[in-house]
């Protein structure tokens, strides 16, 4: 499989973790999201993903899949072990909810495009953009901190979709200097996950395009 990725993309980071957890080999195709206004905006990448975002996964038969949660679900459906969701429907809904706090509520507000829009179209100072970024991470993390179960992982003793989404968001929060002292459970889950090779190999600094 081929993964269109960018080392700092947290959505691509989710898919890298998922591929590693399933033990699936893949080739990384780097799409630089910053240089020259973003190589993701070039026609050749638009032809791959009309949304012009990473990740995009080229499945074995050549279909291009986009949206990290859809890709992760595809991987879980085609390679059921180890499962990304618990067996019990209530526990599954809880794991999905944690994942969606990150993927639907925190990340879209703090992604490259909205931040660039705040800067270039709304003419906001960098300090205001940083405050915006911190605000949405902290609000989401307060909810996650209250919802995380006794560990070591976000939903208990097994790694789930919740961890796959949480760890990349924590990496972004650290990079943007969001204080994490108020979130000991999140920090603990992050450490437990990163002790696993599948998570460690997916880290931004361990990617072929890392800078
Ligand atoms: N909801 C999407 C988000 C994908 C996304 O926004 N990726 C970012 C990087 S984390 C991106 O490609 N941004 C480029 C841009 O916004 O121009 C997913 O989960 O795959």
Which pLDDT does position 168 carry in this prediction? 98
Of 91, 169, 104, the C-alpha closest to 83 is 91
Query: Does the Cβ of 112 fall within 6 Å of ligand 1?
Result: yes
pLDDT in tens, 21-38: 999 999 999 999 999 989
- CA separation for the pair 113, 195 (Å, rounded): 32
The atom number, within ligand 1, closest to the CA of 31 reads: 12
Which pLDDT does position 177 carry in this prediction? 97
pLDDT confidence tier of residue 205, bands split at 50, 70 and 90: very high
Which pLDDT does position 5 carry in this prediction? 98
Mean per-residue pLDDT, 78-101: 98
Which pLDDT does position 127 carry in this prediction? 96
pLDDT confidence tier of residue 207, bands split at 50, 70 and 90: very high
pLDDT in tens, 153-178: 999 999 999 999 999 999 999 999 99
Backbone angles phi, psi at 11, to 5 degrees: -70, -40
The atom number, within ligand 1, closest to the CA of 8 reads: 10
Which pLDDT does position 155 carry in this prediction? 98
- CA separation for the pair 78, 100 (Å, rounded): 22
The Cβ-side half-sphere exposure at 131, using a 13 Å CA radius, reads 5
Mean per-residue pLDDT, 47-73: 98
Residue owning the nearest CA to atom 14 of ligand 1: 53
Of 18, 118, 13, the C-alpha closest to 76 is 18
pLDDT confidence tier of residue 20, bands split at 50, 70 and 90: very high
Identify the burial level of 122 via C-beta atoms within 10 angstroms of its C-beta, where 0-12 means exposed, 13-18 middle and 19 or more buried: exposed
**pTM higher than the cut 0.95:** yes
Q: Which two tokens stand for residue 157?
A: 């003793």
């Amino acid at each position: 499989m081929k993964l269109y990725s960018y080392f700092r993309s947290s959505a691509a980071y989710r898919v890298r973790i998922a591929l590693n957890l399933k033990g699936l080999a893949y080739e990384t195709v780097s799409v630089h999201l910053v240089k020259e206004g973003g190589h993701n905006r070039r026609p050749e990448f638009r032809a791959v993903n009309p949304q012009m975002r990473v990740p995009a996964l080229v499945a074995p038969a050549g279909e291009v899949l986009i949206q990290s949660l859809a890709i992760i679900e595809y991987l879980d459906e085609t390679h059921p072990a180890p499962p990304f969701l618990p067996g019990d429907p209530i526990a599954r809904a809880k794991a999905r909810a944690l994942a969606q706090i990150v993927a639907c509520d925190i990340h879209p507000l703090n992604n490259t495009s909205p931040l660039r829009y705040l800067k270039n179209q709304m003419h906001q100072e960098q300090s205001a953009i940083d405050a915006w970024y911190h605000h949405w991470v902290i609000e989401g993390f307060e909810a996650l901190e209250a919802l995380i179960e006794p560990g070591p992982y976000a939903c208990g003793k097994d790694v789930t979709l919740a961890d796959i989404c949480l760890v990349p968001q924590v990496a972004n929060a650290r990079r943007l200097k969001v204080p994490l002292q108020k979130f000991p459970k999140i920090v603990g889950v992050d450490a437990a996950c990163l002790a696993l090779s599948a998570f460690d190999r997916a880290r931004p600094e361990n990617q072929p395009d890392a800078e």
